[in-house]
Homo-oligomer: A and B are copies of this chain.
Amino acid sequence: MKPAVTFAPGPSELYFTVEDHIRKALRKGFPSISHRSKTFEAAFSLATNGLKELLNIPEGFHIVFTASATEVWERHIQNLTEEKTCHFVNGAFSKRFHEVATLLNRRAEKIEVEEGHGFTSQTIAEPAELIALTHNETSTGVSLPVDFIHGFREMYPDSLIAVDAVSSLPYPVFDFSKIDSIYFSVQKCFGLPPGLGVWIVNEKCVEKAERLRANGLPIGAYHNLPDMVAFAKKNQTQETPNMLAIYLLGHVVQDVLRRGINTIRKETEYKAAILYQALEQHPVLKPFVSTKAFQSKTVIVADTGTHTGSLAKFLNDKGLHPGGGYGKFKSEQLRFANFPTHSKEQYEFLVDTLASYPG
């Protein structure tokens, strides 16, 4: 009997080294040390420098921590915009970022396509201070091609380009000269317990926030970008943060580096390929995203129609726990996270099991 594994796209299966790291942290008394101590600073630096190496982040970018990616949306609007934003919306999460901008009284343009689809045009209606793109829509499994995202810089050199990579990093390879801000949550591909958002920003973002503040705009009291970056330069945070999550992130990033990011990327592609193939060849199932170019490698959504409940039970009985469909797709889709912690063997077993589902 194989041990149970969850394919829910977050909170997700823990990265397979996490429990061991938690035990070590407890043994060392890490949760009781001061967040102003050298020991904590070393844990902070292990995480941020590890991420810089892993994602090939150039000089001029900073890494700061929030409580969640949901918080990152709010901090984007407060720190990087005064009046006008533009959001490419194709699912629940890109939509919510647009709502956040509206709630904070910005004029928020929305360029929307139906769930399951990507975009063909980069054209926006009027200049925006911030263009918000969702690399990977966790709700529907649509991924925007990296080249599409890179294309905005030349067309809109005066806009800040922000990328939601919540459920795709570290898989995609971004050209950091083409983007200004990118963020993710630790409970997705990094397989950590939830409670930490990671926000990577360049100097242009910090300067914009400073300019807004100089003009008397409230950019946030403690999680304003200039102060966050100033603390990060000391490997600290202003508040007492989720220290254990930062510790675990640093250690998991080192584990991933040791395994090799290229290996992980190749395995991700292999696992995605066999799952999409299984869905395409199945008599009663199919991928929800039909256009290959938009099919996410890290969150694979199956159109399961009337089979949803029975397929979920079939998989659960074999210890393979799929994620449910999101929102209105709850009763007709299942989602499968394809994260670094999911092994090729687990994916092969999943694919074989799916193939054997009689429908």
B100–A221 touching, CB < 8 Å: yes
Which segment, of A66-74, A155-163, A171-179, faces chain B?
A66-74
Interface residues of A in 74-122 (CB under 8 A from B): 74, 77, 99-100, 103-105
B193–A240 touching, CB < 8 Å: no
B73–A222 touching, CB < 8 Å: yes
| Given A105-B218, A195-B243, also A32-B6 (CB < 8 A) | yes
Q: Which residues of the partner chain B approach A195 to less than 8 Å between Cβ atoms?
A: 67, 195-196, 240-245
Which segment, of A9-17, A253-261, A267-275, A301-309, faces chain B?
A9-17
A8–B34 touching, CB < 8 Å: yes
**Cα A7 to Cα B192 with chains together (Å):** 29
> For chain A, which range describes its interface: under 10, 10 to 19, 20 to 34, or 35 or more residues?
35 or more
Contact of A240 among B19, B194, B224 (CB under 8 A): B194
A240–B187 touching, CB < 8 Å: yes
Interface residues of A in 225-252 (CB under 8 A from B): 238-245
- Nearest Cβ distance between residue A131 and chain B, in whole angstroms? 19
Interface: A342 (CB within 8 A): no
B32–A238 touching, CB < 8 Å: no
Q: Which residues of the partner chain B approach A31 to less than 8 Å between Cβ atoms?
A: 11, 14, 187, 192-194
What's the number of copies of this chain in the assembled complex? 2
The 0/1 profile, CB within 8 Å of B marked 1, for residues 191-209 of chain A is: 0111110000000000000
- Nearest Cβ distance between residue A15 and chain B, in whole angstroms? 11
**Cα A73 to Cα B239 with chains together (Å):** 11
Interface: A143 (CB within 8 A): no
Interface: A358 (CB within 8 A): no
Interface centre among A105, A185, A222, A238 (most CB of B within 10 A): A222
**Cα A43 to Cα B4 with chains together (Å):** 22
Majority-rule SS of A interface residues:
loop
Instruction: Return the chain B residue nearest A100 by Cβ.
Output: B221
- Nearest Cβ distance between residue A58 and chain B, in whole angstroms? 29
**Cα A324 to Cα B216 with chains together (Å):** 37
**Cα A99 to Cα B303 with chains together (Å):** 52
A22–B14 touching, CB < 8 Å: no
Q: Which residues of the partner chain B approach A218 to less than 8 Å between Cβ atoms?
A: 103-105
Interface: A220 (CB within 8 A): yes
Q: Which residues of the partner chain B approach A26 to less than 8 Å between Cβ atoms?
A: 14, 19, 22
A71–B194 touching, CB < 8 Å: no
A70–B222 touching, CB < 8 Å: yes
| Given A22-B26, A32-B14, A103-B218, also A70-B238 (CB < 8 A) | yes
**Cα A31 to Cα B190 with chains together (Å):** 13
| Given A32-B14, A103-B221, A104-B218, also A67-B70 (CB < 8 A) | no
**Cα A187 to Cα B29 with chains together (Å):** 13
**Cα A324 to Cα B12 with chains together (Å):** 39
Contact of A77 among B4, B19, B70, B221 (CB under 8 A): B221
- Nearest Cβ distance between residue A192 and chain B, in whole angstroms? 8
16 more contacts with CB within 8 A, not counting A31-B193, A74-B222, A194-B244, are A4-B29, A14-B26, A14-B31, A22-B22, A31-B187, A35-B194, A67-B239, A70-B239, A99-B221, A100-B222, A104-B218, A104-B221, A193-B243, A193-B244, A194-B240, A242-B245
A-B contact pairs, 15 of them (CB 8 A): A11-B32, A13-B32, A14-B26, A14-B32, A31-B192, A31-B193, A67-B71, A67-B195, A70-B240, A73-B221, A103-B221, A104-B221, A194-B242, A194-B243, A195-B242
